[in-house]
A and B are shown apart, each in its own frame.
Chain A
Amino acid sequence: MTVLRALLVCLVTLLASYSTIPAAMADDLKDAINALAEGSLKDREAKVDALLETGDDTVVPVLTYLAEGDLYFRKSDKQVFLADKTGRTFSLTDPISGDVIPDISKRDIKKVRVNNNLRRQIRDGLSLFALNSRDSAKRLAAAETIYKAQDASALPAIEARLAKEQDAQVIAFLQEARAGLTLTSDAPEEAKLSAIEILRDKGGRQALSILNEAAETSEGAVKDAASRAIVAIERMLAIWNGVQNIWYGLSLGSVLLLASIGLAITFGVMGVINMAHGEMVMLGAYTTFAVQQAVQTAAPGLIDYSLLFAIPAAFLVAGAIGFVLERGIIRFLYGRPLETLLATWGVSLILQQAVRTIFGPTNQEVSNPGWMSGAVELAGLSLTWNRIWIFFFALAMFGLLFALLKRTPMGLQMRAVTQNRNMASSLGVKTPWVDAFTFALGSGIAGIAGVALSQIGNVSPNLGQSYIIDSFMVVVFGGVGNLWGTLIGALTLGVANKFLEPFAGAVLGKILVLVFIILFIQKRPRGLFALKGRAVE
Chain B
Amino acid sequence: MSSRISHFAAALALTTSLISASAAFAEETIKVGVLHSLSGTMAISETTLKDAMLMLIEEQNEKGGLLGKKLEPVVVDPASDWPLFAEKARELIDVNDVSAVFGCWTSVSRKSVLPVFEELNSILFYPVQYEGEESQRNVFYTGAAPNQQAIPAVDYLMEQEGVERWVLAGTDYVYPRTTNKILEAYLKAKGVAAEDIMINYTPFGHSDWQTIVSDIKAFGEAGKKTAVVSTVNGDANVPFYKELANQGIKAEDIPVVAFSVGEEELAGLDTEPLVGHLAAWNYFQSVDSDANYEFIDAWHAFTKDENRVTNDPMEAHYIGFNMWVKAVEKAGSTDPDAVIDALPGISVPNLSGGYSAMMPNHHITKPVLIGEIQDDGQFDIVYETPGLVPGDAWSDYLPDSAKLISDWRAPLSCGNFNTETNECGGKGAE
- B355 interfacial contact with A, CB 8 Å: no
Q: What residues of chain A lie closer than 8 Å to B222, measured between beta carbons?
A: 205, 208-209
Contact status A374-B252, CB under 8 Å? no
Closest to A358 in B: B1
Contact partner of B212 among A115, A386, A462, A506, CB < 8 A?
Answer: A506
Interface of chain A residues 174 through 217 with chain B (CB within 8 A) = 204-206, 208-210, 212-213
Residue of A42, A115, A373, A462 with most chain B CB atoms under a 10 A cut-off: A115
Closest to B8 in A: A357
Assuming the contacts A209-B223, A363-B238, A502-B215, asked whether A69 and B374 have C-beta atoms less than 8 A apart, the reply is: yes
| 1/0 contact string of A243-277 vs chain B (CB within 8 Å) | 01100100110010000000000000000000000
Assuming the contacts A466-B205, A506-B203, A507-B202, asked whether A458 and B4 have C-beta atoms less than 8 A apart, the reply is: no
Contact status B251-A360, CB under 8 Å? no
- B206 interfacial contact with A, CB 8 Å: yes
Q: What residues of chain B lie closer than 8 Å to A382, measured between beta carbons?
A: 214, 217, 247-248
- B81 interfacial contact with A, CB 8 Å: no
Q: Which of B39-47, B139-147, B343-351 contacts A (4 or more CB under 8 A)?
A: B39-47
- B160 interfacial contact with A, CB 8 Å: yes
Interface of chain A residues 377 through 436 with chain B (CB within 8 A) = 382, 384-387
Contact status B221-A459, CB under 8 Å? no
Q: What residues of chain B lie closer than 8 Å to A506, measured between beta carbons?
A: 200-203, 206, 211-212
CA distance A387 to B251 in the complex (A): 22
Contact status B252-A123, CB under 8 Å? yes
- B55 interfacial contact with A, CB 8 Å: no
**A interface majority secondary structure:** helix
CA distance A198 to B218 in the complex (A): 21
Contact partner of B372 among A115, A384, A498, A510, CB < 8 A?
Answer: A115
- A116 interfacial contact with B, CB 8 Å: yes
- A117 interfacial contact with B, CB 8 Å: yes
- B375 interfacial contact with A, CB 8 Å: yes
**B interface majority secondary structure:** mixed
Assuming the contacts A244-B214, A248-B210, A456-B207, asked whether A363 and B380 have C-beta atoms less than 8 A apart, the reply is: no
Contact status A117-B267, CB under 8 Å? no
Interface of chain A residues 347 through 367 with chain B (CB within 8 A) = 353, 356-365, 367
- B239 interfacial contact with A, CB 8 Å: yes
Q: Which of B128-136, B182-190, B269-277, B389-397 contacts A (4 or more CB under 8 A)?
A: B269-277
Residue of B43, B239, B253, B278 with most chain A CB atoms under a 10 A cut-off: B43
Residue positions of B touching A, CB distance < 8 A: 1, 4-5, 8, 39, 41, 43-44, 47-48, 160-161, 172, 200-203, 205-208, 210-212, 214-215, 217-218, 221-223, 235, 238-239, 242-243, 245-248, 251-253, 255, 264-265, 267-270, 273, 275-276, 278, 372, 374-375, 380, 382
**Complex A-B: 13 CB contacts under 8 Å:** A113-B382, A120-B252, A360-B47, A362-B264, A363-B267, A374-B246, A375-B246, A382-B247, A458-B238, A462-B41, A466-B205, A505-B201, A506-B202
Residue positions of A touching B, CB distance < 8 A: 41-42, 69, 111, 113, 115-117, 119-120, 123, 148, 204-206, 208-210, 212-213, 244-245, 248, 251-252, 255, 353, 356-365, 367-368, 373-375, 382, 384-387, 456-462, 465-466, 497-498, 501-502, 505-507, 510
6 closest pairs, A vs B, by CB? A363-B268, A209-B223, A205-B221, A120-B252, A458-B238, A384-B246
Further contacts, 8 of them, CB under 8 A, given A120-B252, A208-B222, A356-B39: A116-B372, A120-B253, A213-B223, A248-B214, A363-B238, A367-B270, A368-B242, A458-B239
